[in-house]
A and B are shown apart, each in its own frame.
Chain A
């Protein structure tokens, strides 16, 4: 269920539980993990943010982007360029700059690209990412294949990050804050308008929702937070290379969204963690994890089309269905959810209507 809850008054929670949840995870994780596993969790946290930002577009607004790596990369390169010219810049300022650059690029791009819809739009986003990827090879100050190295020793405000533990706290704090912002957006009237545009752009327009504006805003928000994720990864790993702009990254983040499922707010969080950890664990055993991830996706698409996040609801429904026959299963609710194609791209429509 993507919507605003089954009961009115619609939502009473302010998202404090999201913040508390992240704080608990931030404190507990170093108790159980250290060294390399903690670093994997840090990477997973970055991917959680990347997946969530992708889901703003793909899951909430119904715009399929094959080029989400463009904004991930813009964030990373913005961070690298700032670091090269002014290494003493606080890390948080770098993140903010990355978000702004990506949001502006995304908004300008979206104004043109959204003249198309569906598959054409998806192809245009792919083109954007590929063009940027090529640029890193053609523009000398982007340093081509080599990319940027040694971007460590980022200051948060004045103290440098000096250990994996510092990096973990820094990353989880930024990711937690951004996810909290997304929660607020999801529960706002603008968030409802996004879901409306995904559900039926014609009905949305007839209700007076400016479909194009909602889509452009969703694109900018998604891009900004993807850029924050990219910049965070650059700060954590100390390396920025053209690979961050590659189609493989755009594809992987969609896979993370699909594995987790986008019918609930937290789906992409789950998907990103499962993706990163399965990649890491399988890579330790085999050389290449991509086949396993492909298989995992296949199984999920067939068995759980709504993603891992729909598993508890399914189990509950099955249990209810096999219970005493005197209580028939409710005709509504999550059973019906499964027939709803979630995150389907907006179908092509009359341009005049949706402008």
Chain B
């Protein structure tokens, strides 16, 4: 069986400065993978290469057995990749409801037409309403995204990503910017959501070990643009290299 996502010797350099160096990575359908590593390890770049925002300077990216290296992010999104951003990106002049409507609409792949009036899409409306209720955002339905609190922004972005019915979901720091308690609640909710949608493949980046332990089944540790460790969360967490990278030399 072909892997769902495959990076082949993928490298990315910014004006000659390498960020990711010849990474080989395979992610199977249904896997839950966390990419961890200290700041500047190349996590975000690797993430961007899978999502399509960064094109590798060398090597290739494969999705469902197809070379998608040159495909831009919108094309990859239409192929079934959804993502969240470290700092949630929403449509600021649209309400919560409209944001979800837009996500549900684009999730149908052929949703955008000049001759399609918004009012003629009750199916999309229903989907968006259901997603709003499921995410616990019903009370905020008519609030503009620009005036949402940090936690609600993250929740909305997650709901938008899920309502698109992706086969691959990329979560960039799902609890970044949250307080400890909020992060714990969010992790719990996210865990329940992902358990419900076992068919989705998940790749996430995170700093928080608690997030990783509760959401990931496989962990890749990156440092200096390379994959250093690859294994179960327990294996990576207990490894001397991890402790050294995170806590400094001599901690182990």
Which A residues lie at the B interface, using CB under 8 A?
Answer: 1-4, 6, 8-12, 14, 184-185, 187-193, 195-196, 198-200, 202-211, 214, 217, 331-333, 336-337, 339-340, 342, 350, 352-355
Instruction: State which of B138-146, B185-193, B211-219 sits at the interface with chain A.
Output: B138-146
Q: Given A4-B118, A188-B113, is A208 in contact with B106 using a C-beta cutoff of 8 Å?
A: yes
Residue from B53, B78, B82 in contact with A350 in the complex, judged by beta carbons closer than 8 Å: B53
Chain B residue at smallest Cβ distance from A185: B114
| Residue numbers in A under 8 Å from B55 (CB-CB) | 352
Chain B: residues with CB nearer than 8 A to chain A?
Answer: 51-55, 72-75, 77-78, 82-83, 85, 89-95, 97-98, 101-103, 105-107, 109, 111-119, 121-122, 125, 128-129, 142-144, 146-147, 160, 164
Q: Name the one of B72, B78, B109, B118 contacting A188, with C-beta atoms under 8 angstroms.
A: B118
Residues of B within 8 A of A3 (CB): 93-95, 98
Contact of B160 (CB < 8 Å), options: A184, A207, A339, A342:
A207
Check if B114 sits within 8 Å of A9, measured CB to CB: no
Chosen A-B contacts, 17 in total, with CB atoms closer than 8 Å, are A3-B95, A4-B101, A8-B125, A189-B105, A190-B114, A199-B92, A199-B93, A202-B53, A203-B85, A203-B90, A205-B72, A206-B82, A206-B83, A206-B89, A207-B164, A339-B146, A340-B146
Q: List the A side residues contacting B164 at CB < 8 Å.
A: 207-208
CB < 8 Å: which of B72, B98, B103 contacts A353? B72
Using A205-B73, A352-B55 as known contacts, list a sample of 13 further A-B pairs with CB atoms less than 8 Å apart, ordered by residue number in A.
A4-B94, A9-B119, A14-B117, A185-B114, A187-B117, A206-B74, A206-B77, A206-B89, A207-B102, A207-B107, A208-B109, A340-B144, A353-B54
Give A4's nearest chain B residue, CB to CB.
B118
Identity of the chain A residue whose Cβ is nearest the Cβ of B125 in the assembled complex: A8
Q: In the assembly, what is the distance between CA of A184 and CA of B117, in Å? A: 7
Q: Which residues of B contact A11 (CB under 8 A)?
A: 117-119
A195 touches B143 (CB 8 A): no
Q: Give the 8 A-B CB pairs with smallest separation, nearest first.
A: A208-B77, A199-B91, A203-B89, A207-B106, A208-B78, A353-B53, A205-B74, A10-B118
Knowing A188-B116, A208-B78, say if A350 contacts B89 (CB, 8 Å): no
B146 A200 Cβ-Cβ under 8 A: no
Q: In the complex, what distance in Å separates the CA atom of A297 from the CA atom of B114?
A: 34
> Contact: A188 with B117, CB < 8 Å?
yes
B169 CB to nearest A CB, Å: 12
Partner of B54, one of A191, A199, A211, A350: A350
Whether B95 pairs with A202 at a CB distance below 8 angstroms is: no
| Given A9-B122, A205-B74; A199-B116 close (CB under 8 Å) | no
In the complex, what distance in Å separates the CA atom of A185 from the CA atom of B73? Answer: 26
A196, A203, A208 pick with most chain B CB within 10 angstroms? A208
